[in-house]
Structure 1
Amino acid sequence: MKTTKYYIAAITAYTIWGFFSLVLKPIHEYPSLDILFNRVFSCSILMLLIVFIFKRSKVTEAITIFKKMEVKERRKTILINFGGSVFLIANWFSFIYVMNHVSVKATSLAYLVCPILTTLLAYFILHEKLSKTQWIAVGLSISGCLLLSYADLMDMFFSVFIGFTYACYLVSQRVNKAFDKFLTLTFHITLAALFLLPFYPAYSGPLPTEFKFYFCIETIAILFTIIPLFLNLYALSGIKASTVGMLLNINPMIAFALANFVYHEKIGMLQYASYGIILLAVLVFNSHHIFAFTQKYSPVSKNV
């Protein structure tokens, strides 16, 4: 059960993200780019402060490791980390835009499509092996997503794009193991901030004056960005990208419940059935670990 802590990290990250709409919806009247700019800049400043105060030794260690790498490995490391930042920016902007201007259901569908894309990318790029049971789970997930897309093809279009960007991030970071995880995440977010900085003067709106906006942004930065992304990278260091990807289904399950019970979006029986199938797929995909966990902690009966 050495992998249990990595499962817990992934489950915790995706449970947190499931409630993202609770802090994003209250600031839906602000442009998506303004939310993205403030989110990324806040994250970058906070994480750089933490690194310079508490993790300077890790910075020195990372520089030493990088210098010792062969030229080919160094280029690969640069590509993986620059690519990770690009995928994060694309994912965040598309997610915020769709959440605030299309529907909460479309964003929840994105993270139902993402596990399928992650599993397939991990299989073809990382050559991760899947059991027959896990392939059955992938088939169930595809069935559930097809049922949902039948109800709204436009939602599926947006969802595939959001899901693909994050799937690419997960798969790329599975092989990014050389450096401290917090330092890696700081690099990704700071690089994302530097990418966005030239666009800020031209594309940002008027400076927000409401306390609500800044409270939501800082909550998003700390609770819904730094913590879950760090847990995500930690989980990838111990379990396969396909497994981390499939657990991502927890996020849209919670988002779907919020869309129904909090935002009162119209939901039909087809969508209930689809989400039920996808929930079954998550259980089937991780059945080997669930059985191992229950066997370890179930009381052993003894003959008297």
Structure 2
Amino acid sequence: MTYADPSGAGRPPVHTTVAGTVPAGYDNFDPTVWDVYLAGIEVSSARTPWMFATGNHDMEALYSSHGYGGHLARLDLPNSGPKGCPSVYSFVYGNVAVLSLDANDVSHEIRTNTGYSGGAQTSWVERTLKAYRNDPDIDFIVCFFHHCAYSTTLQHASDGGVRAAWSPLFDKYSVDLVMQGHNHLYERTDPIRAAAPTREAPDGSAIEPAKDGTTYITAGSAGRPRYAFQAGEPESYRGHIVAGSNVVPNSYAWQSDGTKLTESISWSRTRFDNYAFVAIESDPGRPGGTSTLTVRGIDEYSKEFDRVVLRRSVPRAGHSGRH
């Protein structure tokens, strides 16, 4: 979020540098980055709620609560999640249920906080997804977190721990959209179920998650310098479509022993390596009709470069009128 943990590894703090450098294995934390960050978002956050998830650069070892004390002191996060997981919560916006998850708890790549919830978070995820999917007033379920279950970047690619812990639950409860960070670029997958793409979904596609599976988007492209895709892996987006580029033979997923397992994948549909953000718009349908969730990739000049529309049938009865 703020890069308050410079290394992104939750290293212990040091208050004295050696010849102006931080000793190996330590971090020199600078709490003033919080001031800079919060001032930077103030104009927007004064009018629009900002909902936060924690990533590897948020584990400030000088604080308690697994390094999240800085967040607890500064942010009034919802307390609807499991005890001891301050950035895990859910909320409902109209016909859309949203879950914020802490991927530090299940990451294979960066293991500082791996397992800190003792399985409580994943149990909560299943209970919460089940309740939302059984709610007739909820059409779409969106999850957002930091480490990527599906991505092909050179720096971090996919985290096998996240994929193993949560993707089966996303399949089981038909999660519509997963938003990921960590990798500093934009990448959208084809819909995925059981770790494989179910169909091709080029720019402009209509996707039916109940049948097609979950769409995963990496959206780490809003601030920090860009990362690279794998060698020989071109960008592919509207106006710059590269045929066959969804196949990446040299991606990888992090394993529990800290190694990278090479994998050849065919689910990487859109790749954009520049500054961008994602806009999501819900259009609730009438009973017996269709609800849509339009997901758009937009560059720093407000130009749209990617779009898909997720569609779900609305039951004829059972809606309370929350829409």
* Short-chain TM bin: under 0.3
Q: Which structure features the higher share of strand residues?
A: 2
TM-score, normalising length from structure 1?
0.24
TM-score, normalising length from structure 2?
0.23
RCO comparison, higher one (Cα < 8 Å, 6+): 1
